[in-house]
Structure 1
């Protein structure tokens, strides 16, 4: 049984910096360990917060090596997965994904990144995290046009280096029929050592057809995950402790923007009432309740998104200790 905690970092223009805190202080690996996490995923969304040197020769290698050096100096003492950044800071893919991982004797940016990471001696490195979250990739509906051949090459290359490859795709606010019809997660799962599906239940109360995203609908998705041999990402965020989300990718989920801050649809804000705070915590706890109702043994390994402050984990577990 393992619990993977997401550790968010960002490039500040001159160096990387950790975004993880416990209140007013920077979080440490020990803070993760004290909360039951035994593996760490070091990431920055789909890659927008990761340095991009440009599309020139060996830039992937140099960027990956620089990132891996920072990680080895700042996050150590626990097995970890390092992100493979899919997007540039402006959102476009860092390289082509319609071609093999290595083509015409030229490495793709992504292969170069992996080689750069592997060039840094880090005994904590357990594998890589494929950061492109779309469940549509490799289908005709994928805007980035990622091919199954690309995923296969990447998977084989990483596994041939005795490393794992994990993925945390989102199903968004799709209905179950849409998930079964359009999402390629079960088809691609064999290329990954672990797949943790984002239910997106915490982020919205409505599905794409206008119906309510109820606990029963969450349980249906958890049952689908179990039947396909998939795991789950547990979801909460800083709004549970009275802070608004402030992440670049949040524009894609339901809610409202106030300046640079995103207000979740579930109703938490900077000055939550006891009612809205309780609603948010209950919605986060519903993940564990759904797992318990479906099949707890099917989810012995889980990933956890909880924003950037580990007090979120403490607050949720004050209501549901087994979260």
Structure 2
């Protein structure tokens, strides 16, 4: 069993700053692996990834790795391959990777060659990325082959807030074996509705159970979702407008409850989004231990 925690870094104009500070010891008490990735910001209908973009993938990847490994030097790390530019919601390369940016990013990270580099994380979260021509299948295959040829692993954490999950690219991509692990984001914590063929419908606990069953049948893994809403009631939880951290804890705890109701246990591997505070994990561990009989992580 392995747990993967998302650890965000933000470019300040000179370096990539850890949004958890120097928290490696505390982080390692919860998680087996760190997924080091740039913080994100919405720009209009798009997203930017807040790490340096010079157009030189090798330089940008090397700089990101240097800053990450100056903070995380013992825990094994998956380094993000950023899809979006720093200051505009455009990809860092063409969908076919014609400028070689993403391959060069990987080369730049590998040039640091720390012993705790475990692999890479593909940061484009869309479960429809092939269908929508956001990325070419051949470049994903190329990136996967290059990563694996260096003895490293490749993971992906797509979102799919929909009942029509079989219409996403997830099963196709799973079948190609480009990624060692795929963790799917249900988005239940964030949204009171889920998309369906009939439009938006209420995102009930029964819907979450159906989602967990779909992940299980597809031989995939789950992305756990919580944030500072479980501490203050003010975050991105669907109940945060009520300013009640207890309601947010219940919504986040439903991920554990649904796994136990469907499978009798938690998924063998799990990825965790928890905002930028490890107190979120401490609070959820306490809540789940008290209400469900086992820790959140």
| Same fold, TM-score > 0.5, yes or no | yes
Aligned to 2:262: 294
Q: Does 1:188 align with 2:186?
A: no
Whole-Å separation in 1 of the counterparts to 2:18 and 2:194: 34
1:1-323 alignment runs, 5 A limit: 1-20=1-20, 26-35=21-30, 37-45=31-39, 48-54=49-55, 59-89=56-86, 90-97=88-95, 99=96, 101=97, 108-139=100-131, 142=132, 144-172=133-161, 174=162, 176=163, 178-181=164-167, 183-189=168-174, 190-208=177-195, 209-242=199-232, 244-245=234-235, 264-268=237-241, 272=243, 276-296=244-264, 299-321=267-289, 322-323=295-296
5+ residue gaps, structure 2, are 41-47, 290-294
CA shift, 1:268, in A, is 4.8
CA distance in 1 between counterparts of 2:134 and 2:17 reads: 32
Instruction: Report the Cα offset of residue 70 of structure 1.
Output: 1.2
Change (3 A) 1:297 1:161: farther
Q: Distance in 1 between matches of 2:170 and 2:273?
A: 19
Deviations 1:51-82 (A, max 9, x none): 1013xxxx000111111111121111111100
Counterpart-to-counterpart distance in 2, 1:124 and 1:306: 23
Counterpart-to-counterpart distance in 2, 1:179 and 1:74: 37
**Partner residue in 2 for 1:256:** none
Contact 1:306–1:312 (Cα < 8 Å) also in 2: yes
Deviations 1:199-223 (A, max 9, x none): 0000011123232101110010110
Cα distance in 2 for partners of 1:7, 1:160 equals: 26
Q: Is the 8 A contact 2:256 2:266 kept in 1?
A: no
Q: In 2, Cα distance between the equivalents of 1:229 and 1:313?
A: 26
CA 115–243 in structure 1, closer or farther in 2 if over 3 Å, else same:
farther
Q: Give the TM-score taking structure 1 as reference length.
A: 0.82
The two structures, once aligned, show a CA RMSD in angstroms of 1.7
Q: Deviations over 1:261-290 (max 9, x none)?
A: xx5432257xx3xxx221100000000111
8 Å CA contact retained: 2:156, 2:182 = yes
Three-state SS of the structure 2 residue aligned to 1:199 is coil
Q: Distance in 2 between matches of 1:50 and 1:244?
A: 26
| Partner deviation per Cα, 1:151-183 (whole Å, 9 max, x = no partner) | 1111111101111000000012x2x2x2222x1
Give the drift of 1:244.
Answer: 4.0
* Deviation for aligned residue 1:121: 2.1
- State the alpha-carbon separation in 1 of the partners of residues 218 and 119 from structure 2: 23
Instruction: Spell out, residue by residue over 1:247-271, the C-alpha distance to the aligned partner (whole angstroms, 9 max, x if none).
Output: xxxxxxxxxxxxxxxx5432257xx
Query: Unaligned stretches of 5+ in structure 1?
Result: 21-25, 246-262
Between 1 and 2, higher relative CO (CA 8 Å, sep ≥ 6) is seen in 1
- Tell me how far apart the structure 2 counterparts of residues 66 and 210 of structure 1 sit (CA, whole Å): 42
